Amino acid sequence: MPSRVLVLLFTTCCSLSQGIVLHAQESICTHVLLGRVIDDHDRTPLEFAEVLLVGTDRGVVADIDGRFRLDGLCPGQITIRIAHLGCDPVERIVNVPRAQELVIRMEHHAHELREMEVVSKRPDEQVGHSHETVEADEMVRNAGAGIANMIGKVAGVTMLNSGPTLSKPVIHGLSGNRIVIMNQGVRQEDQQWGGEHAPNLDPFTTDRITVVKGAASVQYGSDALGGVIVTEPVPLPREGPIAGSFHGVGIANGRGGAAGLQLQGGLGNWRGFGWRVQASGRYLGDSEAARYVLSNTGDREAGASASFGYRDHRFSSTVYYSRFERQLGILRAAHIGSLSDLRAAIATGEPWFVADRTYAIDVPRQTMTHHLMKAEVGYAITERSRIVATYGYQLDDRKEFDLRRGGRSGTPALDLDLRVHSGDLVLKHWIGPQVHGRVGVSGSLQQNINVPGTGVRPLIPNYRRGNIGAFVIEHVPLSERLELEAGLRLEASKLEVAKFDANDVLINPVHEFTNGAFHAGMAWTLKDSTLVRFGVGSAYRPPHVSELYSEGLHHGAAAIEQGDPDLESERSLSATAEVDGSWADGRLTARLGLRSDRIDDMIYLRPDGTRLTIRGAFPVFQYVATNAVLHSADAQLGTCFGRRLKVDLRFNTVRAHDRGTGGWLFLMPSDRAAIEFTYTTIAKGKWEPWEFMVRGTQVLEQRRVSSDIDLDAPPPGYTLCDLSIGSGRTMGKDRLRFGVQVNNLFNAAYRDYLDRFRYFADARGTDVRLWFGYAFGSR
């Protein structure tokens, strides 16, 4: 039924688009120019710069981050006029459409005014790495979702789920410890080794999320084989009154919602000082599949952050603190009492436990609290070189509870306390117009402790891990359209473990690893609207203590996991290529990304039958290593019909081979494609255009699996249809945005191959979300 609906929808929209094309007498004036104005010396934003469209009465004012947005532009050349206090106003010609953000670097001296320089990209951009950014508007539309779901529409990104409450991002088939998350400029450390350990951070502590696709160990260190997710620190205001934003969402599937508030401002006449506070929360009850309640899948979240700092043209300093806590239920049907019940649940396709919908969170459940403290100091040692020192401290407390006898269900079966100190010292240097880059050192010290009192043998042992590394990255702009990048990194780490062996004798194994990585890349702008990237590099990842020494039931995953202390570091060689551009006056846009990875000693969890324990029957997974090769491609194609209708197509595919056995790798994403129709009305007065979107997603059955490796055959493919409607209104310096989203419109019953709980229950059914966002003040 959903497939026939999509075909009918596609036919109808194509007929509509042909009519629009025949009657449209004007150009496609729906393009957007995104830009940013920054200081040429220290790269700080020049807030409140005026950007005017010459020849019209239209214009915008840049926000406190120096960013501006011009909507409703026609294809061709436009002239913009930029003015800022302390600088001479200038005019620049820009070609529309433009594939990249326009960044304007300005000499900002009170007594030395110079002409501005317009460049085609942001400073220190990932030259050879494919990357995409989720902007603030898209984040507000997805309020109430975790960071993994917020980036779910990025090409090449899929989700590794453990039921409806836990999602982790997968980039081109790689996930978990192969993806680094940078939170406010500090590497996130929160027991991310678990497949069901979702990132413990609030995405609304930033206004943009950047996904770097490809091996990036040179800049970000070990583990960045798959890519990097960057929640970029938002520069603090240097002056100005209080401004902020508020957002909220009501969620039907779970019968709850989420909300967040942010305030910021300067310190009166104390120019250069700024502050920001932020808080958010989420409250959900049990989710529902198409035919039944997914019992014990409630979710509670609460987060808050505060930052204070000072910056001028030479010196900057910032202190930051955040606290994020979460409590969530684990699908009750995933915990089964006997081997026969486990086999029956898999064979029947029905969950053995279904109760009435409730907001209560019972066992099995998880509770997590994550603290992040950061201090950063920067100083411009010359007009074009800057040194930055960053210190971070993280405390992560994780507890997992299970159904236990003797009234002990309130005692955690897993209680982990992780403490991490980290430091970075980076020099951003300018050797000359043809060479600039970064050189730095970084280090960290982790200590993980199993808090006594659980009454259960620890899943992972106590350990202490230290590492230190050094890197250099150089950019070589050969011309305005061609830039090269090259980098090297060397890193050493030491892992000290304390555990009891099978005879209850305390042992202290030590593992030492030394690894290196390189990267070379090129960004070539063929035209203002066409960009080509190439990159080649290596990456590495020492095995985590969980892969070496796991032994026992992992409650959150509802599985028994067994480590291997003889595992070695993963090492990969990766090559990427990407073409991104627009043609035919913006009527046609396209992006094609290709990637190939050769990974030696790749570690993964391999199914190894089932086992009956005193707490029930569970599937068994063994950490093993193999040599692998992965090839992936993601493509996007967009075309406009007339002035208002746009059609976007997306396709992702991954091919992953085990070079040792010649078979397929386990738990790799299925091929998937999506078609999206967006119709935009005409803006009227202060009302922004209404946007109507319909999206159909087709996920194919994963047939590239090795026989007799999994507990059950891969589930069949499925089709989903989503709908959204939204608009907004400006009110002076304020802006209101609102809309409705419907996911799984036809309430399809399906299971995804990348859901570790697919053996026990279906995925979520229809979900309706009402959202709004309100920004006020000068923001």
Q: What is the pLDDT of residues 147-171, one digit of tens each?
A: 888 888 888 999 988 888 888 999 9
Q: Average pLDDT in the 46-60 region?
A: 78
What pLDDT does 207 receive? 82
318-340 pLDDT per residue, tens: 999 999 999 999 999 987 766 67
518-549 pLDDT per residue, tens: 999 999 988 767 889 999 999 999 999 999 99
213-272 pLDDT per residue, tens: 888 889 899 899 999 999 878 888 888 889 999 999 999 999 999 999 999 999 988 888
The mean predicted confidence, pLDDT, of the chain is 86
* Helices (H), ranges, 86-167: 136-141, 147-150
Scanning the structure block, which residue is given the tokens 């030590």? 510
The phi and psi torsions of 203 (rounded to 5 degrees) equal -65, -20
Residue closest to 275 by CA, chosen among 226, 244, 308, 253: 308
Q: Is the pLDDT of residue 670 over 60?
A: yes
For 22, counting Cβ atoms within 10 Å of its Cβ (0-12 exposed, 13-18 middle, 19+ buried), the class is exposed
Least confident of 135-144, 367-376, 725-734: 135-144
What pLDDT does 273 receive? 94
What pLDDT does 119 receive? 30
| Total-model pTM | 0.84
Q: Is the pLDDT of residue 722 over 60?
A: yes
420-467 pLDDT per residue, tens: 999 999 999 888 778 889 999 999 999 999 999 998 889 999 999 999
Least confident of 11-25, 378-392, 468-482, 715-729: 11-25
Distance CA 741, CA 134 (A): 18
Return the DSSP state at 176. Answer: G
Strand (E) or helix (H) holding 390? strand 386-401
Confidence of residue 672 (pLDDT cuts 50, 70, 90): very high
Cβ pair 616, 610 in contact under 8 A: no
Q: Average pLDDT in the 563-574 region?
A: 95
Show me where the domains of the chain are located.
2-108, 117-228, 229-776
The domain defined by 2-108 carries CATH number 3.30.56.10:
no
Return the DSSP state at 235. Answer: P
Q: Give residue 338's region: left, alpha or beta (phi > 0; psi -120 to 50).
A: beta
Report the largest interatomic distance among the alpha carbons of the chain, rounded to a whole angstrom.
Answer: 83
What pLDDT does 110 receive? 37
588-645 pLDDT per residue, tens: 999 999 999 999 999 988 888 888 777 677 888 899 999 999 999 999 999 999 889 9
What pLDDT does 43 receive? 62
Cβ pair 717, 698 in contact under 8 A: yes
Give residue 392's Cα distance to chain centre: 21
CATH of domain 117-228: 2.170.130.10
The domain defined by 229-776 carries CATH number 2.40.170.20:
yes
Q: What share of the chain is helix, strand, coil (3-state, %, to 5)?
A: 10, 55, 35
